[in-house]
């Protein structure tokens, strides 16, 4: 299934991107979230500094096969401040202060193991300006863990708690070189 990676912004038609996200996150261990949830989250995160989104589109039909997006981590943001509290001031300075937060990487089930996620992450990291990227993922997501460990990410914290009612999450980081990912 040949595909191309293209950037998206909040002014694009988000419906096919959100539909691809729903297919990608349909199976356990992903927790169910509604389409409206993701759309609200995207529109909120789209106002953050450094917001960048990329989609994988099937070359002939243009169908969206996968997506991810991210933004600059800044003090005051919910995710950034919880991770900073967990890693402490020294690691916060080294890892978080000039970093990018990668969110919602998903590839539709019919298009997996064809390099789409690898290409999405490479394209996203190439478009953002920070020397380091971070993400969190549910600790019980085995395929996600295999993907990130196979593509150069390292675990910074295992089984972090974001608070009552949250499942444990692992925090991953990836250095970004100036010449590529
Ligand atoms: C995780 C996910 C994004 C991977 O997407 P993908 O397009 O299939 O991944 P790629 O084809 O780019 O895989 C690159 C490499 O990662 C590893 N990998 C990817 N999926 C894997 C799996 N299920 N099991 C083991 N290794 C895997 C392999 O080393 C693979 O290379 P190979 O196929 O040559 O062996 C996809 O399975 C998905 O959308 N899962 C549901 C959503 C999710 O969990 N997202 C991540 C957390 S936010």
pLDDT score recorded for residue 178 = 55
Å from CA of 28 to ligand 1 middle: 15
Would the pLDDT of 32 be above 70? no
Cα–Cα separations (whole angstroms), residue 128 to 51, 62, 136, 159: 9, 24, 18, 27
Mean pLDDT of 31-40: 78
For atom 15 of ligand 1, the residue with the nearest CA is 147
Å from CA of 113 to ligand 1 middle: 6
Regarding the beta carbon of 106 and ligand 1, being less than 6 Å apart is answered yes
Å from CA of 88 to ligand 1 middle: 31
Domains in the chain and their CATH numbers? 3-175 (3.40.630.30)
Å from CA of 166 to ligand 1 middle: 24
pLDDT score recorded for residue 82 = 96
Give just the sign of the alpha carbon dihedral 87, 145, 66, 2. Answer: positive
pLDDT tens, 110-130? 999 999 999 999 999 999 999
Would the pLDDT of 175 be above 60? yes
Å from CA of 146 to ligand 1 middle: 7
To test the pocket of ligand 1, the residue of 117, 145, 149, 152 to mutate (highest count of ligand atoms within 8 Å of its CB) is 117
Average pLDDT score, the chain? 94
**Burial track 101-124 (b if 16+ CB lie within 10 A, e otherwise):** bbbbbbbbeebeebebbebbbbbb
Regarding the beta carbon of 113 and ligand 1, being less than 6 Å apart is answered yes
Regarding the beta carbon of 138 and ligand 1, being less than 6 Å apart is answered no
Banded pLDDT at 36 (limits 50, 70, 90) = confident
For atom 10 of ligand 1, the residue with the nearest CA is 115
Å from CA of 75 to ligand 1 middle: 31
């Amino acid at each position: 299934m040949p595909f191309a990676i293209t950037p998206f912004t909040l002014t694009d038609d988000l419906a096919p991107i959100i539909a691809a996200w729903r297919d990608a996150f349909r199976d356990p261990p992903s927790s169910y979230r509604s389409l409206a949830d993701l759309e609200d989250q995207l529109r909120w995160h789209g106002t953050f500094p450094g917001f960048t989104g990329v989609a994988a589109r099937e070359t002939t039909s243009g169908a969206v096969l996968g997506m991810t997006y991210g933004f600059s981590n800044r003090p005051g943001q919910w995710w950034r401040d919880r991770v900073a509290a967990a890693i402490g001031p020294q690691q916060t300075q080294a890892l978080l202060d000039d970093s990018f937060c990668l969110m919602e990487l998903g590839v539709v089930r019919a298009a997996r193991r064809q390099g789409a996620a690898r290409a999405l992450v490479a394209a996203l990291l190439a478009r953002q300006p920070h020397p380091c990227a971070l993400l969190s993922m549910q600790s019980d997501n085995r395929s996600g863990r295999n993907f990130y460990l196979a593509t150069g990410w390292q675990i910074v914290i295992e089984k972090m708690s974001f608070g009552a009612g949250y499942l444990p999450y692992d925090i991953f980081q990836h250095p970004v070189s100036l010449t590529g990912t």
